[in-house]
Amino acid sequence: MALKALIIDDFSDFRKLMSHHITTEWPDAVVVEHDPITQGKLPSHFTGSGYDVVLLDHELGEENGLDWLRYFKQLPGFPPVIFMTSHGDELLAVKAIKSGAEDYIPKQKITHDFIIKVIKNAVRKGKQDSALFDKNRDKKTKAPSDIDIPGYRIIKPLTRGMSSSVLLAHSEELDREVVLKVLLQIPESNNESASAFERFIQEYEVITKLSHPNIVKIFAHGASADQAFIAMEYFPRGDLKQRLKEVMPASMAITYLRQMTEAIQVLHQVGILHRDLKPANVMVREDDSIALIDFGLAKQTQIDIDLTLTGEIFGTPYYMSPEQGHGDTVDERSDLYSVGVMFYEMLMGKKPYIAATPLAVIYKHSHADIPYLDPRFSRYQDLINRLMAKDPSERLQTAGELLAYLNNL
C-alpha cells in the first residue's frame, strides 16, 4: 500500500521540498500538505487515521507545534510524528520526544538521505505500534461470524473494513435477502473510532432522506450497546464494474448515464454531494436498472458537517475531478465530472486516464487533454467535453442541465 504522509508547515516552499523528497523515494506516495495559516487548525474529529507519518513544524504562525504534538499523541492509534524546527535546540528536542515525537530534526540539517532514513524508521515503528493497537482493539470488536441481529439470519460475509462489515442476510420480516452493513463497535466519547461512527450514521441519515428508484433502498436500521446496523437492498447481479467487463451498447450507456444523473439530481437538490461516484458504487438490478450506493463520503453542503480534513484526498483517482484530486473545494460539477468519466468508460471499455501511480492519474485529470471517443461515438464527443472539462465553469453546471442535454440528444 502506498505511503501516506501529512506535512504541517506554514512555509509553502518547504512543504513542497519535503513532498519532493518523499515522492522521489516513494513515487506512489500520497502527500497531503496542511498550511495552518490559511487553513487553520485541523478539525476536532481528525484522528490521523490512514496516515503513515506526520511531519510537524515547531512554529505554525501564532500556534506552537508542541501543543499540536501533545494533542495528537492523546489520540489512540495516531501515526508517528516527526518534529521539525528551523534551527537546532537540544532543549526543544527533549520536549518534543517527551511529548511523543518519534524523532526530531532541525531543518538546516535535512538532506534527502537523512530525511528518508528518519521517515523509514518512524513508519517502521508506527507499524509495530499500530499492530499492537489493532490487536488490542480487535479484542473489543466482533468478527462477522459473531454478529447476531434479531430478525436476520446471516448467510455470509461480503466485505470487512476497518470499522464495519458488510454481510448478506435473510430478513425474516421481509422474507428476502438483504445486505447488512454493521458497525462492529459503537465508540465511546473521544474514541478514535468516533469519526468512523459519524460516517456510518451520516450514511444512514443521507439515504433515508431520499426516495428514488436509482438510489439504494433502506429497509431498516438499529443499534444496540455494541453495534449499529443498516439493512439495505441486495443486488445479486453485482455492480457496474462487473458489467463493464462485457461490451456495452451505446444505448445502454446512455440509459445508465440518464439514471445516474436522475439520482444525483435528487442528491444535489437536498444539498448532498456523493464525492465517490465510480462503477463499484453503481449497482445493477435484475431489470437492468441501476442504483447508487455507498454514501460514506457524501458531504452535506447545507449543514456544517465536514468529516474530512481540508486538503485531504478521498475517493478514487480514476474518477476524481481535477479539483477533488487536488483537495480543493468541490460542488455539484465534481460529481458530474465523475459521471462523465464513467460514461466514457461505458462507451470505450477503458478508463480515460491510466498511469503508474495514483498521483500520476490525478495529474492527468488536471493536465491531459480531454479524451477522444472512437469515431463511431463521435455524436457523444461534445457531451464528454462538457462533462470532463478541466475548469468546472466550462462544464454542464447541474444535473438538470445534463438531463436537458440528454433529452435534446
What is the spatial distance between Cα 385 and Cα 370, in angstroms, rounded to a whole number? 7
For residue 239, give the DSSP letter. Answer: B
> DSSP 3-state assignment of 77?
coil
Give the per-residue SS3 of 261-303: HHHHHHHHHCCEECCCCCHHHEEECCCCCEEECCCCCCEECCC
366 grid coordinates = 488536471
Q: Which residue has the cell 531543518?
A: 107
> Cβ-count burial of 91 within 10 angstroms (0-12 exposed, 13-18 middle, 19+ buried)?
exposed
List Cβ neighbours of 14 (8 Å cut-off, separation of 6 or more). Answer: 57, 107
Residue 22: closest CA among 35, 32, 12: 32
88 grid coordinates = 537546532
What is the spatial distance between Cα 151 and Cα 348, in angstroms, rounded to a whole number? 45
Is 276 noted as a catalytic residue in this protein? yes
What is the spatial distance between Cα 8 and Cα 70, in angstroms, rounded to a whole number? 15
Is residue 297 within 8 A of residue 327, CB to CB? The reply is no
> Could you say which of 276, 288, 306, 328 is catalytic?
276
Is residue 335 within 8 A of residue 323, CB to CB? The reply is no
List Cβ neighbours of 43 (8 Å cut-off, separation of 6 or more). Answer: 306, 307, 309, 310
> DSSP 3-state assignment of 12?
helix
Active site members: 276
